[in-house]
Amino acid sequence: MNTSNPLTTGSHRALLIFFILLLLFSSGCTQSLAIKVTSEVPAPLINQIPLNIGVYYDEQFSHHVYRENSEDRPNWTIESGSSQVALFDQVLPSMFKQVQHVTSIDLSANISKVDAVLAPHIEEMQFALPRETQSGLYEVWIKYNIQLYSPDGSLIADWPLTAYGKSSVEFLKNRSAGLQAAIEVALRDVGAKLALGFGNVIEIKQWLADTIGECENYAVSNC
């Protein structure tokens, strides 16, 4: 004879379903990610190029946000725009005699006296987690496009630049900290590559030679 109480049985079943749904929801939440990148990049010690440079940050760059909402990476949001601007504002004054923010690439009708306008863009960001690569590392790749324009808006050079950063799970407590640390390394990497590689881009090297008549003293080889 079945003496089970249908009300009790139904309550247990409902409670079990509730806990299953709660577990699934919690699992989804633990995979979500929200990071606002903060980083300080040291100014490079290099010879300044004796030119006045305008720097133009478009909206996509200055407010850059990486978003992904996939099965493996639900609700990922990584804000790096303010750190990207801070990076270039730190590095560029070490490279040039004078640097100023400008509001447009074409300055032909502007009173700003600059020799060229530099406009950085972020083309792509990629991430790899330790569980994905079995490497014990958080990794990040940031693909930039550094464009240099004459004051009238004509393109001088278009320079693709990729930065890489990594951090080890050994020294970090969680995924957010791991990715933050890897992004910081990538920002330092692009700062170094920007400062040391700028004058070695063929089009920029020629422009420097035409503009200042020399380039061997400004991290440029074989002028």
* C-beta of residue 64 within 8 angstroms of C-beta of residue 81: yes
Q: Which residue has the higher pLDDT, 69 or 173?
A: 69
Helix (H) or strand (E) run with residue 79 in it: strand 76-79
Domain housing 82: 47-212
Mean pLDDT in the chain? 82
The arithmetic mean of pLDDT across residues 58-87, rounded, is 92
The arithmetic mean of pLDDT across residues 126-150, rounded, is 92
DSSP-derived secondary structure letter, 83: H
Tally of residues, the chain: 223
Q: Which residue has the higher pLDDT, 213 or 211?
A: 211
The pLDDT of residue 127:
92
Give the Cα-Cα-Cα angle 169, 170, 174 (nearest 5 degrees): 45
Query: At 25, is the secondary structure helix, strand, or coil?
Result: helix
For residue 51, tell me if it sits in a domain.
yes
* Single pTM value for the model: 0.79
The pLDDT of residue 67:
93
Share of residues in the chain with pLDDT > 70 (%): 75
> Which amino acid appears at position 118 of this protein?
L
For residue 29, tell me if it sits in a domain.
no
Beta carbons within 8 Å of 69's beta carbon, 6+ residues apart:
75, 76
Read off the pLDDT band of 164 (50, 70, 90): very high
* C-beta of residue 82 within 8 angstroms of C-beta of residue 35: no
The pLDDT of residue 39:
64
Task: Count structural domains, the chain.
Answer: 1
Residue 24 pLDDT exceeds 80: no
Tokens of 137: 């590392």
CATH number at 73 reads: 3.40.50.10610
For residue 19, tell me if it sits in a domain.
no
Tokens of 155: 């393109």
Share of residues in the chain with pLDDT > 90 (%): 53
User: For the chain, how big is the Rg over CA atoms in Å?
Assistant: 25
The arithmetic mean of pLDDT across residues 181-191, rounded, is 93
Read off the pLDDT band of 29 (50, 70, 90): very low
Residue 189 pLDDT exceeds 90: yes
For residue 198, tell me if it sits in a domain.
yes
For residue 196, tell me if it sits in a domain.
yes
The pLDDT of residue 110:
64
For residue 25, tell me if it sits in a domain.
no
DSSP-derived secondary structure letter, 96: E
Residue 211 CB-density burial (10 A; 0-12 exposed, 13-18 middle, 19+ buried)? middle
The pLDDT of residue 111:
56
Query: At 194, is the secondary structure helix, strand, or coil?
Result: helix
For residue 102, tell me if it sits in a domain.
yes
* C-beta of residue 206 within 8 angstroms of C-beta of residue 215: no
For residue 86, tell me if it sits in a domain.
yes
Read off the pLDDT band of 80 (50, 70, 90): very high
